[in-house]
Structure 1
Amino acid sequence: MNTNTPQTRIATFGELLLRMSVADGNRFTQANEIKIHVGGAEANVCVLLSQLGIQTDYITRLPQNDLAQLAINELQKHKVNTSKCVYGGERLGLYFVESGNQIRQSQVIYDRSNSSFATIQKNQIDWEEALKDVTHFHWSGISPGVSYEAGLVCKEGILAAHQKGLPISSDFNYRSKLWQYGKKPSEIMPDLLQYSTITVADLDAIEIYFGIKTDKKESDSDRFQKTFELLKKEMPFLKTLAMSFRKSDGPAHLYKGLLLHEGNFYETKEHKIHVVTDQIGSGDAFNAGLLYGLSNKLSGQKCIEWATACGVIKQSIHGDFAITSLAEINHFMENGSSNRINR
């Protein structure tokens, strides 16, 4: 092994949350039991990357109480380094989930106001120390949506990573129920996204953040490639753009990935998903799969195959985290989905 190449170490910044899911497919108004999972977009990315053998650092601000400890324990169980987290503030953010089905949508209610992360201040994270030995920085549009202050701290991290010359990946992750503090996403996000070298986006969020529109009558691949050209004018360092596309096909979903990487376009086949166990976190799994492929210098086609496979597999798993393995993902990529018993 070439000792001059630093070992991949991916740091992510975002809010760690407890997810409160109404049990047994009930509605919020029928709830008499809640199941707790730990989640948060950037934590989800770390957990899958760690399972795939990549070192990860998760950076956030947490209260000093047992609920925060529960969440941290869950990350540590999956070998995510949490030593760079800072402490302070009153409470951990929560979100509540009512699972939908093939007839109605899932519903989310956020309870994140005044959380430790929402009240984070500049200079509370020593970014020089936090990014020591790190080879890559990842963040998402959720953080600047939580509070103006969280957006400022996110920018501190982005600038520190940019000054170090690190690759910076972002997920557009627009959440309409966030952004309650008086600023529009289009006022905040372009400034933060301009430093990204890698980004995962969707066409709707690109329109909300940058006002970039494409013709809905055109094919996904044409819209994607035109979007990349327009986005490059706003994001001058951008080398890699990926998107997942989901469409309904009767009761099933069709899911595929598209990638533009260093000037070349790649596309996966459409995967047919007949049963969705839990869709939340599938975009984060897609991100982690992409970062795994890029970190291992796989071909562009292999990178988007990895991202898409991780996104599909996550939809079969309860909770925010994609609990899987290299062997399972490789098996899926070679054989597709399976209902056989592995014994």
Structure 2
Amino acid sequence: MNEKKIITFGEPLIRLDRANNEQLFFPQSFNSYFGGSEANVAIGLSGFGHKVSFVTGVPNNQMGENYIRYLNAMHVDTSHVRKEEGRLGIYYTQQGFSVRPSSVIYDRGFSVFSQLKYTQEEVKNILLECKWFHFSGITAALGKTVQDNLLLFLKECKKTNITVSCDLNYRSKLWSVKEAKQVLGELVSYADVCIGLEPLPCKDTDNTYLLNLKDEQEILLRMQEIREQYGVEHVIHTIRHYFQSDSNEYCAYILNSQGFHKSKEFFTSIVDRVGSGDSFVAGIIHGLLHDEDTCNVSLLNFAVANGTYKCTIKGDNMYISKEAIKKSVKEPFLDIER
């Protein structure tokens, strides 16, 4: 039998990024990139040498075909990409600079992916070749049809012992905290790996949103609540300190049966922050699959270094070898490589 795949499930997107850090007022030119959270994770894992499949839907037109070609160029399997009549989701970005923050506008209504329906039989067949299934809260935010599809996949994963990871990835422009807590509370109960601490209903914190917890003791207590309530083996949380919108310091925490650990802190100036969280997730999945010498700290350092490296690259995703990231963990080489 062929080596089993990692499967990511989510919406394909095209990003239109205002050129030269300019504002969206009277836009004249954009740079365009293919992306979407789970597509970004798939591309990152493919760069590390994993066999990855992106399960999704694209329009049955030239734009959909171009998206598939892009994934194929990144060595991501597209055999489970469905082509249907409809549209590709779009989002617009305005890059921040210095004290001016970045901003995003979504235009994703009625995309092909959000209208897809899967049967139990289809889900079963797709997951036959799967060892790891990944999704994000951005996907779950797309409505009842997508949530029902996700539940079909998650229940089958549970039945067949496929590892599941969820990046909570809350986006306030897509849904409310209340709705997100209700939906993600159900979905995360099927996960083995939870990336992020909110928005999930946990005991005494059901009605609060705890974004940007800074105190280590608070972070640990929240992680313990999630492990206990949802039966998640690995709970992971990232923290970024922004000096201005074009530079940040990045670190992460993990809680699992091996204990509570923190990565070292990585500083970088930012060329493009979009997709850096997805690169972090790709690093986490890679590390957990390879157990990174059973050391939580080296696993976290690798993932944070991967997320930090992405901040230096334009576009939504990056395809890079694990050797390059491991080298940057040890000691960044800043001279010209020649």
Output the TM-score relative to the length of structure 1: 0.90
Q: What is the aligned partner in structure 1 of residue 216 from structure 2? A: 221
**How has the CA–CA distance of structure 1 residues 86 and 208 changed in structure 2, closer, same or farther, with 3 Å as cutoff?**
farther
> One-letter code of the match for 2:226?
L
1:200 aligns with 2:192: no
Q: What is the aligned partner in structure 1 of residue 65 from structure 2? A: 69
Equivalent-residue separation in structure 2 for 1:326 and 1:206 (angstroms): 32
SS at match of 2:112: coil
Question: For structure 1, which segment, 281-290 or 325-334, has the greater mean C-alpha deviation from structure 2 after superposition?
Answer: 325-334
CA-CA distance at 1:87 after TM superposition = 2.4
CA-CA distance at 1:179 after TM superposition = 2.5
Q: What is the aligned partner in structure 1 of residue 276 from structure 2? A: 282
SS at match of 1:285: helix
Q: What is the aligned partner in structure 2 of residue 35 from structure 1? A: 31
Q: What is the aligned partner in structure 1 of residue 132 from structure 2? A: 136
**How has the CA–CA distance of structure 1 residues 10 and 171 changed in structure 2, closer, same or farther, with 3 Å as cutoff?**
same
Equivalent-residue separation in structure 2 for 1:30 and 1:106 (angstroms): 17
Q: What is the aligned partner in structure 1 of residue 179 from structure 2? A: 184
Equivalent-residue separation in structure 2 for 1:207 and 1:89 (angstroms): 37
**How has the CA–CA distance of structure 1 residues 26 and 149 changed in structure 2, closer, same or farther, with 3 Å as cutoff?**
same
SS at match of 1:184: helix
CA-CA distance at 1:284 after TM superposition = 0.6
Equivalent-residue separation in structure 2 for 1:58 and 1:283 (angstroms): 18
Question: For structure 1, which segment, 44-53 or 122-131, has the greater mean C-alpha deviation from structure 2 after superposition?
Answer: 122-131
Please give the residue correspondences for 1:73-92 in structure 2 after superposition, counting only pairs within 5 Å: 73-92=69-88
Residues 214, 226 of structure 1: 8 Å contact kept: no
Residues 278, 315 of structure 1: 8 Å contact kept: yes
> One-letter code of the match for 2:41?
V
- Unaligned segments of structure 1, at least 5 residues: none
**How has the CA–CA distance of structure 1 residues 111 and 219 changed in structure 2, closer, same or farther, with 3 Å as cutoff?**
closer
SS at match of 2:7: strand
Equivalent-residue separation in structure 2 for 1:208 and 1:89 (angstroms): 41
Q: What is the aligned partner in structure 1 of residue 141 from structure 2? A: 145
1:306-339 deviation per Cα after TM superposition (whole angstroms, max 9, x unaligned): 1111110010010011232222101101103x43
**How has the CA–CA distance of structure 1 residues 170 and 228 changed in structure 2, closer, same or farther, with 3 Å as cutoff?**
same
**How has the CA–CA distance of structure 1 residues 130 and 107 changed in structure 2, closer, same or farther, with 3 Å as cutoff?**
same
Give the CA RMSD over aligned residues. 2.5
Residues 10, 139 of structure 2: 8 Å contact kept: yes
Output the TM-score relative to the length of structure 2: 0.92
Residues 251, 262 of structure 2: 8 Å contact kept: yes
Equivalent-residue separation in structure 2 for 1:297 and 1:217 (angstroms): 28
SS at match of 1:135: strand
Equivalent-residue separation in structure 2 for 1:194 and 1:276 (angstroms): 35
Q: What is the aligned partner in structure 1 of residue 288 from structure 2? A: 294
CA-CA distance at 1:154 after TM superposition = 1.2
Question: For structure 1, which segment, 65-74 or 121-130, has the greater mean C-alpha deviation from structure 2 after superposition?
Answer: 121-130
**How has the CA–CA distance of structure 1 residues 225 and 88 changed in structure 2, closer, same or farther, with 3 Å as cutoff?**
same
Q: What is the aligned partner in structure 2 of residue 235 from structure 1? A: 230
1:122-171 deviation per Cα after TM superposition (whole angstroms, max 9, x unaligned): 42981111112211111111112112211111111111111111111000
Match of 1:50 among 46, 50, 57: 46
Residues 71, 78 of structure 2: 8 Å contact kept: yes
Residues 22, 96 of structure 1: 8 Å contact kept: yes
Identity of aligned residues (%): 26
Equivalent-residue separation in structure 2 for 1:43 and 1:296 (angstroms): 21
